[in-house]
A and B are shown apart, each in its own frame.
Chain A
Amino acid sequence: MNRFKDAEHLVRVAGVFLLGITLFLCFRAWFVPKSFGQYGHYRADSITEIAALPVIHAGHETCETCHADVLEIKKAGKHAGVNCEACHGPQGKHAEDPSSIKPALPDTAVLCARCHEANTAKPKWFPAVVSAEHSQGLPCNTCHTPHSPHIGDKK
């Protein structure tokens, strides 16, 4: 015991350190969220939170479950690869409640021009027209059916 007679000040310092470390661990456990560090230096729960955000675009698979008739028309035409919401806009709400929330019918004069208005930057393979010359301001669906736009032989 005599050996430690003069070491009491060291024990006290050690005690202070230990208290400090314990307090640090307590505060850390209290303040750092449980999921922090699960995958890396971030809160893993935020992944779940972001994944839980609402879906606004229903996706064409959802549309096709009810609108199979339109799908048949579309599949035969040039617009086969164009998804429903590319033209009709986000329809998640309509898919959730089809009877009371009805999508607005797009104005073809505006809608078609978004893609098919001639522009020098557009790739050469893409069919484009100067709408003022092509249709003199008439809406496109005067002649074309948007779901299968080719006039004449079905192609």
Chain B
Amino acid sequence: MNMNRRFFITLTGAAAVAWESVLAGAPEASPNYKVADHWWAMLIDVDKCIGCGNCVRACAAENNVPEGFFRTWVERYQVDDQHMEEPIVDSPNGGRDGFPARPGTLPASVKEFFVPKLCNHCADSPCTQVCPVGATFTTPDGVVLVDEKYCLGCRYCIQACPYGCRFIHPEKNVAQKCTLCYHRITKGLTTACCEACPTSSRMLADLKNPNDPIHEFMKKHSVQVLKPQMATGAKAFYANLDGAVR
């Protein structure tokens, strides 16, 4: 029994040390920017996109995106009114170098348009739910990010994303995706793609800011998200979106 008591006293000491570490928590980060004050989203007006590829180039330059991979890209849709369900979609090099013009004029039954794509920064994102190690997450201000130090490169999130917005970095071997230029928006700048968009087809929006033009825009336009049936809480809002877009 004496032996036992000593044993337990030793244990109590060790437990106290461990518990102190558990309780210590993390220091509060970021001095000026308050995560609780923002809820980021992206607004895309399909009617304004001219397929110049400025966003793709700007994104690649800003975020050091490897060649052949895209955090944002532009798709060209060709929809025949007889075959609404089977649009012809192309995106040569993600639209980075623009789109080669198709010769001649379009038949009367065919329409063409561009659709910029990026991470939808879903509020209920499937990609963060499947991560086995907590390497990807939705920040309190509504941006889906990847912790490159924690990511194992298991590719589970890539399969989970219904929008195909993730890829494995060929050298780092970790999942990468649009960060909504988190390093810029936390400093009061807009994203690189919005900065470079010549027609303001893309607009960064802060849903928690009552003065943000998005509220006025949403009131005056028909706005929808991609694949609403997936119930992902997508926050890339598309105005003038055609039903053929997937």
- One digit per residue, 1 when the CB lies within 8 angstroms of any chain A CB and 0 when it does not, for chain B 100-138 equals 011001100000111000000000000000000011111
- What is the bound-complex CA distance between A50 and B26, given in angstroms? 17
Contacts of B246 in A (CB 8 A): none
The smallest beta-carbon distance between A126 and chain B, in angstroms, is: 5
A64 at interface (Cβ–Cβ under 8 A)? no
Give the docked Cα–Cα distance between A27 and B24 (Å): 15
User: What's the least CB distance linking B61 to chain A, in Å?
Assistant: 5
8 Å CB contacts to A: which residues of B14-41? 14-15, 17-19, 21-22, 24-27, 29-30, 33, 35
B200 lies within 8 A of chain A by Cβ: yes
Instruction: Let me know if A122 is at the binding interface, CB within 8 A.
Output: yes
Distance (Å) between the CB of B200 and the closest chain A CB? 6
Q: A19 contacts which chain B residues (CB < 8 A)? A: 11
Cβ contacts under 8 Å, B54 to chain A: 86, 114-115
Interface residues of B (CB under 8 A from A): 4, 7-8, 11, 14-15, 17-19, 21-22, 24-27, 29-30, 33, 35, 47-54, 58, 61-63, 76-78, 98-99, 101-102, 105-106, 112-114, 134-140, 145, 147-150, 179, 182-184, 186-187, 189-190, 192, 195-200
Q: Given A28-B22, A90-B62, answer yes or no on A83-B195 (Cβ-Cβ < 8 Å).
A: yes
Contacts of B52 in A (CB 8 A): 114-115
Q: Is the CB of A42 within 8 A of B61?
A: no
Q: How long is the Cα–Cα vector from A54 to B187 in the complex, in angstroms? A: 11
CB pair B182–A90 under 8 Å, yes or no, is no
Q: A22-B15, A55-B184, A115-B198 are in contact. Are A120 and B101 (CB under 8 A)?
A: yes
Most chain B CB neighbours (cut-off 10 Å) among A29, A60, A128: A29
CB pair A40 B15 closer than 8 Å: no
